[in-house]
Amino acid sequence: MSKETGGPAFPLDASTPVNSVDEMKGMALRDYFAAKAMQAQLMHPLVQNGEGTRLDVAMASYQMADAMLEAKSKS
């Protein structure tokens, strides 16, 4: 299952010195969006009361990230 990642969350410009190609990759924008969505979900009272599993929270976070990437592509 391949998903659009949105590219790097914190891209470097050409003048930024890097030590390796791996250093240039960084975090995918999709993962960054999912992490932000997860933070908000973890504050929801139902989640704090133990309703829903960690997997539920993680999956919902990536669903929100995918929606954010879609919205970004349309703006």
Domain-embedded: residue 50: yes
Domain housing 43: 27-74
More confident residue, 38 or 13: 38
As a three-state string, the secondary structure of 3-67 is CCCCCECCCCCCCCCCCCHHHHHCCEHHHHHHHHHHHHHHCCHHHHCCCCCHHHHHHHHHHHHHH
Residue 3 lies in a domain: no
Confidence at residue 24, expressed as pLDDT on a 0 to 100 scale: 54
Regarding pTM above 0.75, the answer is no
- Residue predicted with more confidence, 40 or 14: 40
The answer as to whether 12 is a domain residue is no
CB atoms within 10 A of CB 15: 5
Does a structural domain hold residue 14?
A: no
Q: How many domains does the chain have?
A: 1
Could you tell me if residue 6 is inside a domain? no
16 falls within a domain: no
